[in-house]
């Protein structure tokens, strides 16, 4: 069955454009309320949001939808996405909702759901909720309409939880840390947590105005943070995205490291301590082949999934693994959290710095990445160039040219109107030729 509303990470799109409209959000809340409503006295949902202007609109619409089906709504205010996963479970909610389009600009927004166990919903559950959206929704009787209430200490609960993952009796004294919060959901939490753990903190991206989330800052734009690290002589930079489930690191020399490098570091350290379950890391098809080679050298297995942290988590839960993530900076550590958590992953790196006494530059370059090239091509809505025979032929030619010396990955984005063309090859010139040939063939029909 083809999805009409849900993508790879909840429902996402441009605000006030289908499917991200207030009326869809209201019905989505009602549909989810119908699905999660059970035969018990109290039904509850928690709702968090990031700092986009439209998040307030969707918060109100979802609240109306959930309360119409008899569910009580607890509003958390602006909190990181992982906080919703944590609090859904700790507050014994039936469902948790995060309103965010993650690393996208303020023009977009999204709605992500978490089950009562704190994990994102499976494809099957999302499809069942979606089946209610265009049908009749059973509303509660007048006397059973739910109520809405703001939770004032939600952010404090999450901050204490985040600090609990850092080893007790260990502090960040003497470390100067630049943290870029992308004018997003962690603009309060991240600087406070780092300061309370003992660091000297230079905070960037902490003045949200509803429009500047991810704008020239954060994990997708680390240049400002890299400059700040050099300017202030900081020991390390931590760049989060708009909902703080991603992290990108910067060493004291201003060099940027992606999620693959951080996963490689954590995996090898956990393996050496005997805490990496089954000596296995779960990553996506986008992760660099250099990471795979590094892991093999340390007798660590790499399992790849489709793109999307939810698919990483599904594989981790299915087989019992405790570490996974994405090159983009989602780092999932199920010993601590149920989804990617940029702040807690950053704390793992800071812990490695404290333990080793080594500078970030010694730790941040775990392996030599294979040359990788990623190109994004904007496409018209409801089109799929990958079905075109000329594009398919260009892909086959590229794969043949790479042979065993590289790989080609082409996919349609599940969150944006893009075709992503990614190639890896030991020969940079061949890499460029193959990728650009595929890009040209896609561009001709978009």
The sign one gets for the Cα dihedral 169, 263, 80, 71 is negative
For 242, the 3-state DSSP assignment is: coil
Q: What is the largest CA-CA distance in the chain?
A: 69
H or E segment at 257? strand 256-257
Taking CA atoms, 134 is separated from 8, 15, 39, 110, in Å, by: 20, 20, 24, 19
Residue 102: active-site member = yes
E strand or H helix at 191: helix 189-196
Q: Which helix (H) or strand (E) holds 376?
A: strand 372-378
User: For helices 259-273 and 342-356, what crossing angle results, to 10°?
Assistant: 60
Closest residue by Cα to residue 239 from 222, 261, 258, 257: 222
Q: For residue 324, report the phi and psi dihedrals to the nearest 5 degrees.
A: -160, 175
Residue with tokens 């700040």: 228
Q: Is-cis flag, bond preceding 19, omega within 30?
A: yes
Question: How many CB atoms sit inside 10 A of residue 82's CB?
Answer: 31
Tokens at residue 292, please? 């795979």
Residue 202: beta bridge partners?
178
In the set 54, 55, 102, 287, the catalytic residue is: 102
Active site residues: 102
């Amino acid at each position: 069955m083809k999805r009409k509303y849900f993508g790879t990470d909840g429902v996402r799109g441009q605000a006030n454009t289908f499917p991200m409209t207030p009326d869809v959000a209201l019905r989505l809340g009602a549909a989810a309320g119908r699905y999660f409503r059970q035969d018990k006295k109290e039904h509850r949902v928690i709702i968090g949001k990031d700092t986009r202007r439209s998040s307030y609109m969707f918060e109100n619409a979802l609240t109306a939808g959930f309360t119409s089906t008899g569910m009580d709504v607890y509003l958390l205010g602006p909190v990181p996405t992982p906080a919703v996963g944590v609090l859904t479970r700790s507050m014994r909610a039936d469902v948790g909702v995060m309103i965010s389009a993650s690393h996208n600009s303020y023009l977009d927004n999204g709605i992500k759901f978490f089950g009562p166990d704190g994990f994102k919903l499976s494809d099957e559950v999302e499809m069942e909720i979606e089946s209610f959206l265009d049908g009749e929704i059973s509303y509660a009787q007048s006397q059973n309409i739910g109520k809405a209430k703001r939770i004032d200490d939600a952010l404090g609960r999450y901050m204490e939880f985040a600090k609990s993952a850092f080893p007790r009796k260990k502090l960040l004294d003497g470390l100067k840390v630049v943290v870029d919060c992308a004018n997003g959901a962690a603009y309060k939490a991240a600087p406070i947590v780092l300061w309370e753990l003992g660091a000297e903190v230079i905070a960037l991206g902490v003045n949200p105005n509803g429009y500047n989330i991810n704008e020239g800052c954060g994990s997708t734009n680390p240049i400002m943070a890299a400059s700040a690290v050099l300017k202030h002589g900081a020991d390390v930079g931590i760049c989060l995205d708009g909902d703080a489930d991603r992290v990108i690191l910067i060493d004291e020399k201003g060099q940027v490291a992606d999620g693959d490098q951080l996963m490689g570091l954590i995996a090898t350290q956990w393996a050496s301590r005997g805490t990496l379950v089954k000596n296995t890391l779960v990553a996506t098809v986008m992760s660099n082949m250099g990471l795979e080679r590094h892991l093999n050298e340390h007798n660590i297995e790499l399992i790849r999934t489709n793109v999307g942290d939810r698919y990483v988590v599904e594989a981790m839960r299915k087989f019992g693994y405790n570490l996974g993530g994405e090159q983009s900076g989602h780092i999932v550590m199920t010993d601590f959290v149920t989804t990617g958590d940029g702040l807690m992953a950053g704390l793992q790196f800071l812990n490695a710095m404290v333990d080793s006494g080594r500078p970030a530059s010694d730790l941040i370059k775990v392996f030599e990445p294979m040359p990788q090239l990623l190109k994004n091509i904007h496409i018209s809505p409801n089109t799929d160039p990958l079905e075109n025979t000329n594009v398919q032929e260009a892909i086959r030619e590229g794969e043949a040219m790479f042979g065993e010396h590289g790989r080609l990955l082409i996919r349609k984005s599940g969150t944006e109107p893009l075709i992503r063309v990614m190639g890896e090859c030991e020969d940079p010139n061949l890499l460029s030729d193959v990728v650009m040939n595929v890009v040209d063939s896609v561009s001709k029909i978009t």
